[in-house]
């Protein structure tokens, strides 16, 4: 079975609740996770790691009031249905950002100091470069681009995220989940209904799938609030990027390389 990050994190969260030494809830089935699974006395010792992971999730579902069928370590329709129900109520903490990516606060002074002055045209800090998979233009999905323009300081971070997205989801799921529906990056403008410059003005914010993640929509309507997008957000958050959807529950299309002041 090909495990998703959400499934691994669900098992890790249950192991943490059992006071087992699982380490971080990070979606990575490393040595600590495997050791903790081996210490879960309610599962047979002879089961392999895959079967123990399934059994662990089945136990979590049962504990939470969702029936996965028998706790047999076999991922069937009943387990999938119970897991879907459980996933809808779970909240995982954002990943800690990489130490080298401590982006500035979202104040004009801090942004100018770190990124340089924002210019409407001929900004010397902007670079155009190839991306790992094509983006569809959100306003015309028949058109694709294989390059984007951003601030040079965020280029490497963006490429690390996109390569992880490609490795994790693959092109088919990237398209199905609209992770390639690109709403743009650099645009010199003020924040909507505001007086300060948007982070887009420095080329340090990207929008994705704006049609299904509209500005004022919360997690009850925004597509990117769904459980299938957890890995997507983890990849950005590990790089220190901030999702307004995850932190403020609006504008789920938007991710930026700037920290919120409050």
52 lies in the same domain as 132? no
Query: Is 20 part of a structural domain of the chain?
Result: yes
136 lies in the same domain as 220? yes
How many domains, in total, are found in the chain?
A: 2
Write the burial class of residue 83 (CB in 10 Å: 0-12 exposed, 13-18 middle, 19+ buried).
Answer: buried
Angle formed at CA 152 by CA 131 and CA 203, multiple of 5 degrees: 85
Query: Is 92 part of a structural domain of the chain?
Result: no
Query: Is 200 part of a structural domain of the chain?
Result: yes
**What is the model's pLDDT at position 201?**
94
Range of the domain at 16: 5-87
Q: Quick one: DSSP state of residue 81?
A: H
Residue with tokens 């800690």: 96
**What is the model's pLDDT at position 166?**
95
**What is the model's pLDDT at position 99?**
46
147 lies in the same domain as 221? yes
244 lies in the same domain as 154? yes
Q: How far apart are CA 94 and CA 33, in angstroms?
A: 19
114 lies in the same domain as 218? yes
Asked whether the beta carbons of 179 and 207 are under 8 A apart, the reply is no
Q: How far apart are CA 133 and CA 130, in angstroms?
A: 9
Q: How far apart are CA 194 and CA 254, in angstroms?
A: 16
Q: Say what the pTM is.
A: 0.66
248 lies in the same domain as 123? yes
Question: What parts of the chain have a pLDDT lower than 50?
Answer: 99
Q: How far apart are CA 68 and CA 185, in angstroms?
A: 43
Query: Is 39 part of a structural domain of the chain?
Result: yes
How would you label 59-71 residue by residue, b for 16+ Cβ within 10 Å and e otherwise? bbbbeeebebeeb
83 lies in the same domain as 113? no
**What is the model's pLDDT at position 90?**
77
147 lies in the same domain as 41? no
The closest of 95, 64, 101 to 204, measured between CA atoms, is 101
Query: Is 98 part of a structural domain of the chain?
Result: no
The closest of 103, 101, 112 to 201, measured between CA atoms, is 112
The closest of 23, 49, 25 to 37, measured between CA atoms, is 49
Q: How far apart are CA 227 and CA 137, in angstroms?
A: 24
Query: Is 95 part of a structural domain of the chain?
Result: no
Q: Quick one: DSSP state of residue 199?
A: G
And the tokens for 258? 């700037």
And the tokens for 78? 């009943």
184 lies in the same domain as 235? yes
132 lies in the same domain as 211? yes
Query: Is 15 part of a structural domain of the chain?
Result: yes
Query: Is 96 part of a structural domain of the chain?
Result: no
Neighbours of 102 (CB within 10 A): 10
159 lies in the same domain as 209? yes
132 lies in the same domain as 18? no
């Amino acid at each position: 079975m090909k495990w998703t990050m959400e499934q691994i994190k669900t098992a890790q969260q249950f192991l943490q609740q059992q006071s087992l030494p699982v380490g971080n809830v990070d979606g990575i089935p490393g040595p600590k996770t495997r050791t903790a699974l081996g210490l879960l006395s309610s599962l047979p010792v002879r089961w392999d790691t895959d079967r123990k992971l399934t059994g662990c999730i089945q136990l979590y579902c049962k504990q939470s009031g969702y029936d996965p069928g028998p706790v047999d370590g076999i991922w069937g329709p009943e387990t999938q249905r119970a897991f879907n129900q459980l996933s809808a109520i779970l909240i995982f903490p954002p990943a800690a950002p990489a130490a080298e990516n401590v982006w500035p606060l979202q104040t004009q002074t801090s942004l100018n100091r770190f990124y340089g002055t924002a210019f409407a045209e001929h900004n010397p800090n902007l670079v155009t470069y190839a991306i790992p998979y094509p983006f569809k233009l959100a306003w015309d999905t028949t058109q694709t681009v294989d390059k984007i323009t951003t601030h040079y300081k965020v280029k490497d971070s963006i490429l690390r995220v996109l390569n992880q997205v490609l490795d994790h989801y693959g092109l088919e799921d990237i398209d199905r989940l609209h992770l390639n529906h690109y709403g743009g990056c650099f645009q010199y403008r003020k924040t909507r209904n505001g007086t300060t410059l948007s982070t887009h003005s420095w080329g340090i914010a990207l929008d994705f799938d704006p049609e299904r993640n509209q500005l004022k929509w919360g997690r009850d309507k925004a597509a990117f609030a769904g459980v299938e997008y957890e890995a997507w957000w983890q990849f950005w958050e590990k790089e220190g990027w901030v999702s307004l959807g995850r932190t403020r529950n609006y504008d789920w299309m938007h991710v930026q390389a700037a920290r919120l002041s409050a």
